[in-house]
A and B are shown apart, each in its own frame.
Chain A
Amino acid sequence: MRIPCPFCGSRDSREFVHRGDAAPIRPAGDDADAMFDYLYLRDNPAGQFEELWYHAQGCRNWLRVRRHTVSHAIESAEFARIGHAA
């Protein structure tokens, strides 16, 4: 699999570290239900999926990648931002 890094261009996926689902956003307060949801519950779709990758062996940017979990086709990759809406 190759990931189109917006800074480095198309690079082999082994340069990257997979962080996981990009959808969960850490809740601001200490509400137990919200924290449980953030930590543990996942949509786990078989299809389009937004996830975070870290380009450890490249530009060391965090990327937000939109990938299909059945075909692995990557639709887009952009720099991740803190508080990025799902």
Chain B
Amino acid sequence: MRYSILQLATQALRRHRDWTPAWRDAAPREGYDIVIVGGGGHGLAAAYYLAKVHGITRVAVVERGWIGGGNAGRNTTIIRSNYGLPGNEPFYEWAMKLWEGLEQDLNYNAMVSQRGVLNLYHSDAQRDAYARRGNAMRLHGVDAELLDADAVRQMAPFLDFDNARFPIQGGLLQARGGTARHDAVNWGYARAASALGVDIIQNCEVTGFLRDTSGAVVGVETSRGAIRAGKVGLAVAGMTGPVAAKAGLRLPIESHALQAFVSEGLKPLIPGVITFGAGHFYVSQSDKGGLVFGGDIDGYNSYAQRGNLPVVEDVCEGGMAVMPMIGRVRLLRSWGGIMDMSMDGSPIIDHTPIAGLYLNAGWCYGGFKATPASGWCFAHLLATDTAHETATAYRLDRFRTGHLIDEKGVGAQPNLH
């Protein structure tokens, strides 16, 4: 069923009785050309692009829980491509370009809203660093604008500009950045992939890997039986450690909990996404009116999808420092998701040392905005066995060879990225 305003009007007149499920809840078949483990945004996007771009439709996505129940529904919905390093920027800009055409491509309203991402700076040194990052972005053909305090004041007069400790001197604006409805992105990819013949298999946990005599991976063992596959792709960020361990892989990744928060619904207040440059705090406003915000990871290895109180306090202190009026707002909900924290803060889209097994992992905080390009590049890798031109830096062996992509420059310390 193709969605359109005409369809909506027709269904409304028929009292919405004829809507059909958005995708098929498939049962596993005996074998596929490609099995993708993980029905999050990245796995579903990869399946969709495998079918659409590469014409490979004998594809299954196996998901331990349900579609939209993992990190796809736990992030803070921000999309942006404001990176400084050459290994990152072309990739995230490719994601941004895909975001810009996503809804038409998927025929699904993902509520992509390019309302701008503003990174505040609070010192001369930070202004210089942001100017450098903005210039790097512009050299890659990406929009970036360095604003002074007056220009920021016009956009967001409610910020604490004259804070004694962290005065706001200006900001780096990416006007094309913004937000998207996170679980709608997942549902949209699931629906579009399913329509092209991809099997989406929920409540199907991978318990092991099928190996042939040479040791190559030729399928997965699951809670719903064995599924053979020509190739197996892992897109299970957050759970990459335990799943990869079933294949005997040790990876440069630790799992950590990241919390997010949403306030009660308010009238339109915040024009785009605003990030505090002197602490870790970022905030935007959902179309429903809630302020959506987050901060640092909890700091110690965790697989618990909930967070600790010291970080709640830290995030709220960051909010109060940059935007004191947030103190009048009541918190509605908070939750946690598990991040793959890689050793340089950047992701991995590559072959593994095991034949037939491919890896998409290590997304740290940045997985949501990467979703379309991650899927695109993972599909390219699975279909052609070569890295996509925007993802050539995301090699698994870069840690061994020293070609790290350390955007933040903190070294092999996952809880600091």
Contact = CB atoms under 8 A, between A and B. Distances in A.
Given A39-B412, A40-B343, A42-B241, A51 B251 contact: no
Contacts of A39: 343, 399, 412
B415 A20 contact: yes
Mostly helix, strand, loop or mixed at chain B's interface?
A: mixed
Interface string B253-287: 11100000000000000000000000000000000
A60 interface: no
Mostly helix, strand, loop or mixed at chain A's interface?
A: mixed
Contacts of B253: 42, 44
Given A18-B415, A20-B415, A42 B252 contact: yes
Given A41-B252, A43-B250, A18 B299 contact: yes
Interface residues of A, number: 23
Interface in A52-81: 67, 69-72
B414 interface: yes
Interface stretch (B113-121, B135-143, B191-199, B303-311): B303-311
Interface residues of B, number: 26
A70 B238 CA distance: 12
B2 interface: no
Interface in B286-309: 299-304, 308
A28 interface: no
Interface of B: 239-242, 245, 250-255, 299-304, 308, 310, 343, 399-400, 412-415
B414 A13 contact: no
B241 to A, nearest CB: 3
A66 to B, nearest CB: 12
9 cross-chain pairs, A with B, having the tightest CB-CB distances, nearest first: A44-B241, A40-B252, A46-B303, A40-B399, A18-B300, A41-B250, A14-B310, A70-B303, A46-B242
A45 B302 contact: no
Interface string A2-25: 000000000001100010110000
A18 to B, nearest CB: 4
Interface of A: 1, 13-14, 18, 20-21, 32, 36, 39-46, 49, 51, 67, 69-72
Given A40-B343, A71-B304, A46 B254 contact: no
A44 B308 contact: no
Contacts of B414: 20
Contacts of A32: 400
Contacts of B240: 44
B301 A51 contact: yes
A29 to B, nearest CB: 17
B413 A20 contact: yes
Contacts of B242: 44-46
A20 B301 contact: yes
B304 A72 contact: yes
Contact of A43 (B241, B299, B399): B241
7 contacts: A40-B400, A40-B412, A41-B252, A43-B241, A44-B251, A44-B253, A72-B302
Given A44-B251, A44-B253, 15 more contacts: A20-B254, A20-B413, A21-B301, A39-B412, A40-B343, A41-B252, A42-B241, A42-B250, A44-B241, A44-B301, A45-B242, A46-B242, A69-B304, A70-B303, A71-B304
A32 B301 CA distance: 26
